[in-house]
Amino acid sequence: MADDSFDIDDTERRMRGALQSLKQEFAGLRTGRATASLLEPIVVEAYGQSMPINQVGTIGVPEPRMLTVQVWDKGMVSAVEKAIRSSGLGLNPNVDGMLIRLPIPELNQERRAELTKIAAKYTEQARIAVRNVRRDAMDHLKRLEKDSQMSQDDHKAWADKVQKLTDKVIGEVDAALAHKEAEIMQV
């Protein structure tokens, strides 16, 4: 395999990117404990454009079951409150001047099951992303072999490496799901 026209490191970086994206999605799923990352996916309509919530206020965690958002501009308080209500996180914001308090309610069994379904959906999207990276890599290998830039043996060896990498990353994706499900179901 002296041919360096195939970059497995780029393939691995792209697969790991899908795994990292999944972990960020998981950070936004509620587990009954207050974390600032819970609000990170929320986007606020501010100044004529969409902005992440952390660019219009400071997110705080004063208690284990409470989040706060200290909004910097008084005119943005209602937009932030509206964005939180419409986020689908099941939070009920309480406005106190420029401070928005978000009590984190206990998760009931039904909501826990719903959150595990959402986690499974995110996981399936990550698996699809990893498989798409694998497909792109395999197509690239086929093109290299077809254009006589790679021998059949090298093509087979690289294809095996790509498949092993895919299996490894998908295993990590599944492990991340198992960990998140255990975290959600923990009472």
* pLDDT band at residue 31 using 50, 70 and 90 as cut-offs: low
Q: Would you say residue 50 has pLDDT above 60? A: yes
Q: What is the CATH number of the domain that holds 49?
A: 3.30.1360.40
Number of domains in the chain: 2
| Predicted local confidence at residue 186, as pLDDT | 76
Q: 3-state DSSP call for residue 187? A: coil
Task: Return the HEC string of 96-160.
Answer: ECCEEEEECCCCCHHHHHHHHHHHHHHHHHHHHHHHHHHHHHHHHHHHHHHCCCCCHHHHHHHHH
- Whether residues 60 and 20 fall in one domain: no
- Whether residues 88 and 123 fall in one domain: no
Residue with tokens 């087979």: 156
Q: Would you say residue 1 has pLDDT above 60? A: no
| Kind of pairing between the strands at 57-63 and 66-71 | antiparallel
- Whether residues 62 and 92 fall in one domain: yes
Cβ-contact 105, 141 below 8 angstroms? no
- Range of the structural domain that residue 122 is part of: 8-26+108-185
Indicate the average pLDDT of the chain.
Answer: 87
